[in-house]
Structures are given as structure tokens and as C-alpha cells.
Structure 1
């Protein structure tokens, strides 16, 4: 009666498409469940899927070759593309800080691993493709395995009479050792070096706060006669650091306004200023003194709101082109992008998904929303055109043959490097035409975890 269920769930030597899909879902579902279980303070996460797959393969479960190739390559593409979109905004800017050091360290690690592989090849007599799989598995480098398999396929196409071992076998053998080795090294290092993870995490968070220097706002009163009668443009230019004056209230008045660069300062004016804390303190000391005025925060005619950039008419436009102040009497005080705060310079180019913090009247904000968008619902909807358009560009880039005279076959970036480079560039420059860089965090985490 239940023969159909047995045929569907039990291992067979020549599986159908449906049986192959069931085997994949069984490995993923069981692996994710086991990955959530705790062994002491340790969880294996998505790595447990690998162990589940090994066990199911031992029991005799098989997957059709075509489906296996598609799942493996498509998963790799999703993984590296998701990584590229997530780190793109900070990847290039990090070279000005510690990013260069980290990249040099990463390249050195890869070169050292390659050197060890060559030495083992000379000493052991093992095939190079087996050693590449062993190296990839020992450091749990799935994209490296994908690149190796793509290279072998290209060589096979050029030299059909040659045979090569499958590097996946070496990868599967050493991957568990790589996972346990990394976990063991972390535990051993913590014990030997007497590291307290909670203390180190607090130090790391404090260092990130000091590096990123979040934007804040402060109130001040103009008391330095040197700046009476000068425009905000003159004062800020003389100051030398980038700050934004979001609100202004003249002395003796309860009316709060959003000033322009042409607004003249008067004696005892109260300003709301936005910028880095050190710059604000220096500006206050130079121009006046701190203020405790409450009217500048409580004015009923002036509102503060975050507006999402979702309309094509605002994407890739500079703030100076939108000219929100002269058009709608709105002041942009901050721009939020990929978790970072950016000071709104006139030359700043807006990307899809950016958040503008504006100050102005309710009517002005409503008018600005018509050209900027402010559709949070639209950001939650998956944009498949951008996603698959970017993936297509990545696959095309990874498939371009690069001829090097000393090599027997052209080299290609492959499914690992091609989509990664495209994702980094799209994320850095906000997209290409209809392909934009914004994908919500939930979708990115899905791409990374499902892909790996």
C-alpha cells in the first residue's frame, strides 16, 4: 500500500528527479536540525548539512548527476553573490583602515596553503586534483573547491583523452577534520592564551564604535561676535570640518526654521548641529557655547522623518540635483546606507534602499515622498530582476576565457570569482541600470546559508 512512499524515501541506485529532490531536501532538513543542537557551547550550524550528506551517501542515497551539478554550482553562485552584496559597501573603504592588512594576511594564507599543497604533491606522489580537494576541505573552502572543479572541466574539454580524479572526494574526507580542527584550535587558543570571549567582544565593539564614529546631534548658542552677521556657508567653510545645521531658532523667538547656507547668524541664535562628536565640540567651542534650549526640539511645525529611496526618479541622483531644500524646504541631516551613517554632502549619490533623515513641515515631507518613494513595503519585496540580472552578469564575467601563453588552456574566473566581483561592484556603486544593490538582510542570509 505504501510502496510509493518507500520508493520515494528509501535509497535507490538510479534515482528519478523526484527521488533526487527528496534526497537533497532530506539532507538539508536533517542537517539544519542537527546543526541547531548544542554540544556543550558548540553548534555546527549549516556545516552539519555536510555531515548529513556524507552519512546519507554512505546509506546509499544518490542524486542524478545533472541535478547534483546544478545544485552545487547554483548554490556556490548564490553564496558568493550574497557575500559580495553584504560586504561591498565597506570592502573598498576598508583599504583605508585595516582592510589592506587583512587582505594581505588572507592572500598570504592562501599562498602558504598552495605552497604546502605543492610540497605534498612532490613528496607523496598524490595527484594534484586530490590534493587541491584535500586543501579545500581542510580549510572548509567550498568556493575553492568549485573553482578547482571548473578548472578541471575546462581541461577535460580541451584534452578529452585525459582523466582526472574528482577533488570532491578529498574535500569530503578532510572537511570534517577541518571543521573539528578549527573548533579545537579556537578552544585550545582560548585556554592557552586565557581569552575571555565576553571581554574581547566588548573591546571589539568599543573599537568599532571608535572607528565608525557615529553621527550625533547637539544644541548650541551663538555667542562669538566674530560670527555675528555671517552666513552659515562662511562659518562652516571657515571651520573646515563637515557638519550640518539642521535647525535654527533666533533669540527671543519661539519659531524654529530649517536654515540654508545663506542664512545669517545673529547674537544668541540657537542651533541644532549634526556631525562627529569631536567636530561638534570643536565647533561649539569656536562659535559659542552649549545650549539647553528646549524650543528647538519641540516645535510643532517642524517634523523629522526617515524617507526610503525607492523611486527610479531619485536613484543615482545627487542630493544637489534633488535640491530638496529649495524645492520643498526640507533639510537632509543624515543618510543611512547598509548600516552606516553618511553625512549628506551635495555631491552624495543616492542608491536604491538608502534612508534619508529629513527635517521640515508635514506638507513638505509628503511632497518629497512623491519623488523619493518611501515605500518600505517595496523594499521587503524580492526584486528578482536585480537578483538574477546580477547573477547573470557574474556568470558571464566568470565565463570569459583569459588566454595566457604559458598555459595549455585559457583560465576563467569561474562561478566563484565572477559573481563575487560583480556583487562587490554593484554594491559599491549602487547598481547598473535596472540592477540595483539593495536586497534585504533576510534574503542575503538565505542566499549565503542555502548556497554554502
Structure 2
């Protein structure tokens, strides 16, 4: 009577499509459940899906070969594309600040791990594909494994008789070591270095440079006779558009105006200025003093509102082209993009999804709303044309063969690096034609987590097939020893160099450790363990470049030494 139920849920050597889907859902659902359970402050998150997949594969559950390959590759594409969109804006801007130093440390760690892998290859007699799997698992790097497997397939297409071992076996054996190794290093380094998270937080705040501080507004009363009769353009010239004057009120008057650049200052004028706090303090000290005037904040004459950029006709135009003040008597005081607050300089180019804070009359705001679109509902709707257009470009870029002399086959960016690079560029430049960079945060998190769940389930179920036999056959304990060298030697070196030579704040260093090993589980642990969100920032700064280098290192090792 319940044969159909047995058919659906019991292992099958040659599963149907329906059975394959059930196994996939079983792996993801059970994995997500166990991933939410905490052991102290440690939780595995979505990485638990791979371990459940290993168990299911070990007990005979299977997915059809073609379906498994599709799920694995499509999941990886979704995951890296979501990461690229999420961290792209901060990735490029970070290079002007601490990002260059962080990325040098992180990439050096990646290359050091590759060097240790080469040394192990020379002295252990293991095949390079096994060592690439061990390396990818030891540093919990999923895209590197995907790139290694893609490179093997390319070589097989050129040399059909060449036989390779599956790097997934080494990856599955050493992946738990990678997760616990990074977490253990964060714990022990904190105690050995006698780190006080509160003290590190204070140091971090003191060391923050102005470009990273949020925009603020202050009120200024003009008292310096040197500036009486001068236009705002002349006064602001030496500050190079770093300050916006959003409101002006003449002394003794209750009328608040949105001033033009040719408006002249008078004695005891009150200004509302927006910018970085240090710049504002310098400006106020030069022109006058802080004001406590409350009338300038009155909304009786001037309204303020947030407007979203959703109409194609204004996308990729800069503020000087739109000339909102002269055309509509309306001033933009701030622009919000991808979680960042940007000063509205005339050269600032508008992207789809930007949120503008504007001040002006009710009629002016209404006209600009119509011009900008201001459809928040539209931003909540998924733009599948942009999403799949971007994914298509990523797949095309990842499939372009790059010919390198002396290598047997051309190298490709693959399904990991191609979509990642496209997402970074799209988020940096706001889109390409009809492909926009804006995707709401909920959609990005869903795409990332759904993609990595698909990948982990496919990889785990495939690796679980004969996992115990492979562990015994390949002497898994020895492989764990090799993986320990790849995990701990670069990581400990990073802590020493980063802390004592580069003088990096430990809260940031914890994020760089997690980012260098592309380990979201370690990042989640470090934010709870250190009671700070600072590690997330440095993780995002190094993750894209580290991922690209992990992909190239894995591919090149197989191409050169196979």
C-alpha cells in the first residue's frame, strides 16, 4: 500500500527524476535544520547541508548524474554572483583606504597555501587533483573545488584517455578540519594575544579615517567679515565640493531657502551644512561658529523627502546633467547606495535603486518624483531580466578560453570566477544597458544561500558515495595531516604578520582570516565570539579577490602538475 512512499524516500542506485528531487530536498531541509543548532557559540549554518549530503550519500542515496552536475554548477553560479553584487560597491572603494593592505595579506595567504600544496605534491606522491581537493577543503573554499573540477573536465575533453581522481573526496575529508581550524585559531589567538574586544573596538574607532565616517549635518552662523558679500560658490571652492549647503536663513528672517551657488552671504546668516564631520568643523571654524537657531529646521517653507531612482531616462546621468536646482528649485543633500551614504557631488552618476534625500517645495518634489520614477514597489519586484542577463554574461565570461604558453589546455575563469567578476563590475558601474546592479537585500541573501545549499547538497551526496571506503582506501588520517599543514601554517603566519608587522586591529584581522578562507561559518562565529560586526566589513573587503585567486590557484595547479 505504501510502496510509493518507499520508492520516494528509500535509497535507489538508479534514481528517477522525482527521487533525485526528493533526495535533494531531504539533504537541504535536514542540513539547514541542523545548521541552525548551536554548540556553544558555534553553528555550521548552511555548510551543514554538505555533511548531511555526505551521510545520505554514504547510505546509498543518489541523484541522477546529469541532474547532479546541473545542480552543482547552477548553485555555484548563483552563490558567487550574489556575493559579487553584495560586496562589489565596498570592494572597489576599500582600495582607497585599508583594503589594499588587507588584500595583500589575504592574497599572500592564498599563495602560501598553494606553495605548501606544491611542496606536498613533490614529497608525498599524491596526485595533484587529490591535493587540490585537500587544499580546497582545508580552506573551506567551494569555488576553488568547482574550478578544479571544471579544469579536469576540460583536460578530459582534450585528452580522453587521461584518468583523474575526484578532488571532491579530499575536499569532503578535510572540509570539517578547515571549519574548525579557523574557529580554533580565532579562539586561541585571542587568548594568546590577550585580546580585549572592547579595547580593540575603541582602537578601531580612533583609527577610522574621515572617508569612512558617515555624513552629518550641522548649523552654522556666519560671523567672519571676510566672507560677507561672497557667493557660496566662492566660499565652497577651496573645499572641492566636499560640503553641501542645504538651507539658508538670513538673520532676523523666518524664511528658510534652499540657496543657489551665486547667493551672497550676509552677517549672521544661518546655514545648514552637510558633509564629513571633520570637513564641517574646519568650514565652521573658518566662516563663523555653530548655531542653535531652530527656525532653519522649520519645514513650513521647505519639505524634505526620499526619492528612489527607478526611471530608465535618468539612470547613468550625473547630478550636474539633471541640474535639479536650477530646473526644479530642489536640492539633493545625500545619496544612499548599497548601504553607503554618498555626498551628492555634481559629477555623481545615478544608478538604478539609488535613494536620494531632497529638499524643496511640495510642487518641486512632486515634479522630480515623476522624473525619477520613485517606485519603491518596483524595487521590491524581482528584475529577472537583469538577474539572468547578468548570470548569462558571467557564464559567457567564465567560458572564454585563455591561452597560456606551455599549458596543455587553455585556462578558463569557470562558473565560479566568471559570474563573480561580472557581478563586481555591474555593481561598480551600476549596470550594463538593461542589466541593473540593484537587487534588494532579501533577494541577494536568498540567491546566495539557495545557491550554496544546492552546491553543498550535490557535492556532499556525490562525495558520500563510497566516502568511508575512500577514507580507508586513501588513508584519510594522513590526508587530514596534510590538510592541517595547509590550514594552520598560512593562518598562523597571517596572524603574526597581520598583528605584529601590519598592526591590523584584531577585530578586522578575524574578518580577514574568515575571508581568506572564504568561510561564512567562521565569520558568523567571530562576530558572536568577539561581540562585534567589524569582522564582516574586512571579510567583505577581501572575499572577492581571494575567491578569484583561490580559483586560479586550483586551476593552475591541475594544469601545470597533471
Q: Residues 208, 240 of structure 1: CA spacing in aligned structure 2 closer, same or farther, 3 A cutoff?
A: closer
Cα offsets for 1:309-359 (capped at 9, x unmatched): 111111101111111111111011111111111111111100011111100
Distance 1:210 1:250 in 2: 31
For the structure 1 residues 109 and 310, does the alpha-carbon distance in structure 2 shift closer, same or farther, using more than 3 Å as the test? same
Q: 1:201 offset after TM fit, Å?
A: 5.1
Which residue number in structure 1 is paired with residue 422 of structure 2?
422
**Runs of 4+ displaced beyond 6 Å:** none
2:11 maps to 11
What is the alpha-carbon distance in structure 2 between the residues aligned to residue 206 and residue 446 of structure 1? 36
Task: Find the aligned partners of 1:208 and 1:128 in 2 and give their Cα distance.
Answer: 44
Indicate the SS of the match to 2:314. coil
Q: SS at the partner of 1:350?
A: coil
Q: Deviations over 1:375-407 (max 9, x none)?
A: 111111111111110010011001011112211
Query: Cα 1:53–1:436, aligned 2, differ >3 Å: closer, same or farther?
Result: same
Please give the per-residue CA displacement for 1:73-123, whole angstroms capped at 9, x wherever unaligned. Answer: 111111111111111112122112121122222221121111111111111
Matched residue, 1:178: 178
Q: Is the 8 A contact 2:387 2:435 kept in 1?
A: yes
- The answer for the alignment partner of 2:165 in structure 1 is 165
Whether the aligned pair in 1 keeps the contact of 2:241 and 2:345 (CA below 8 Å) is: no
Q: Give matches, 1:185-200, under 5 Å.
A: 185-197=185-197, 200=200
1:57 offset after TM fit, Å?
A: 0.9
**Deviation at residue 288 of structure 1 after TM alignment:** 1.3
Instruction: Name the residue aligned to 2:64.
Output: 64
Note if contact 1:241-1:279 (Cα within 8 Å) is conserved in structure 2: no
* Distance in 2 separating the partners of 1:123 and 1:331: 68
Q: 2:210–2:278: 8 Å Cα contact kept in structure 1?
A: no
1:204 and 1:268 mapped to 2: Cα distance? 39
Give ranges in structure 2 of 5+ residues lacking alignment: 453-562
SS in 1 for 2:50: helix
Aligned-partner Cα distance in 2 for 1:129–1:380: 44
> 8 Å contact 1:255–1:299 — kept in the other structure?
no
Name 1:132's counterpart in structure 2.
Answer: 132
Shift of residue 64, structure 1, vs aligned partner: 0.7
TM-score of the two chains, using structure 1 as the length reference: 0.97
Q: 2: distance between equivalents of 1:238 and 1:105? A: 37
1:94 to 1:297, Cα distance in 2 relative to 1, 3 A: same
Question: Distance between the aligned counterparts of 2:429 and 2:155, measured in 1?
Answer: 35
Partners of 2:352 and 2:429 in 1: how far apart? 11
Cα distance in 2 for residues equivalent to 1:201 and 1:285: 30
Equivalent in the alignment of 1:90:
90
Unaligned runs of 5+ in 1: none
- Per-residue CA shift, 1:221-278, capped at 9, x if unaligned? 1111111111110111145562111001111211111001011111111111111111
Structure 1 residues 265 and 369, CA gap change in structure 2 (3 angstroms): same
Match of 2:316 in 1: 316
Conserved in 1, the CA contact under 8 Å of 2:210 and 2:276? no
Report the CA distance between 1:200 and its aligned residue: 4.0
Q: How many residues align?
A: 452
Conservation of the 8 A alpha-carbon contact between 1:324 and 1:330: yes
Change (3 A) 1:60 1:193: same
- Residue of structure 2 in register with 1:393 after alignment: 393
Map Cα deviations across residues 125-171 of structure 1 (whole Å, 9 max, x no partner): 11111110011011110000000011000000000011111111111
Task: Write out per-residue CA displacement over residues 2-49 of structure 1, whole angstroms, 9 at most, x where no aligned residue.
Answer: 211111111111111111111111111111110111111211111111
SS state of the match for residue 356, structure 2? strand
8 Å Cα contact 2:391-2:419 kept in structure 1: yes
Aligned to 1:150: 150
